């Protein structure tokens, strides 16, 4: 087993045995990844807010309309990233509680590959598909 103070890379993570699933080395890998993601999100939100505050509102009506549309896009980006922060914080909390990497519905392992793609995942692929089938926006209209 790897010393948790030494970061590992994705290849090493994926090369670990199933018996090592969510050991301290793997939890540390995802903790670092999530903390980095959190800092990146906060920095990007700060940059977007800076763009909003620097916005020039002068110009003719066409310029103002274009500026308003650009501002709406900036606000949407801020909103989207702001909604991701609680998910990152929840994932970090699950790491601390020892629940990270396990489906909140079934208790089954979510899987390293899924967590690498979506470190904030709370459900296994099967549980997520079941959830989506229950939600109206995902159901096919007959």
pLDDT at 4: 47
Distance CA 105, CA 21 (A): 18
Residue 79 and residue 27: Cα distance in Å, rounded?
29
What structural domains and CATH numbers belong to the chain? 19-138 (1.20.120.910)
What pLDDT band is residue 47 in, cutting at 50, 70 and 90? Answer: very high
Res. 57 pLDDT band, cuts 50 70 90:
low
Q: Report the mean per-residue pLDDT for the chain.
A: 89
Which of 101, 125, 90 has its CA nearest to residue 28?
101
Distance separating alpha carbons of residues 10 and 45, to the nearest angstrom: 27
The span from the CA of 123 to the CA of 19, in Å, is: 20
For residue range 83-137, what is the model confidence (pLDDT) as tens digits?
999 999 999 999 999 999 999 999 999 999 999 999 999 999 988 888 888 877 6
DSSP 8-state symbol, 142? -
**pTM reported for the whole predicted model:** 0.80
């Amino acid at each position: 087993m790897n010393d948790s103070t030494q970061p590992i890379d994705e290849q090493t993570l994926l090369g670990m045995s199933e018996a090592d699933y969510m050991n301290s080395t793997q939890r540390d890998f995802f903790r670092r990844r999530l903390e980095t993601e959190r800092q990146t999100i906060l920095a990007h939100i700060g940059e977007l807010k800076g763009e909003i505050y620097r916005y020039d509102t002068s110009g003719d009506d066409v310029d103002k309309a274009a500026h308003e549309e650009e501002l709406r896009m900036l606000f949407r980006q801020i909103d989207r990233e702001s909604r991701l922060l609680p998910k990152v914080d929840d994932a970090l909390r699950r790491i601390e509680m020892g629940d990270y990497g396990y489906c909140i519905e079934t208790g089954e392992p979510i899987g390293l590959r899924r967590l690498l793609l979506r470190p904030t995942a709370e459900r296994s692929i099967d549980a997520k598909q079941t959830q989506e089938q229950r939600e109206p926006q995902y159901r096919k209209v007959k």
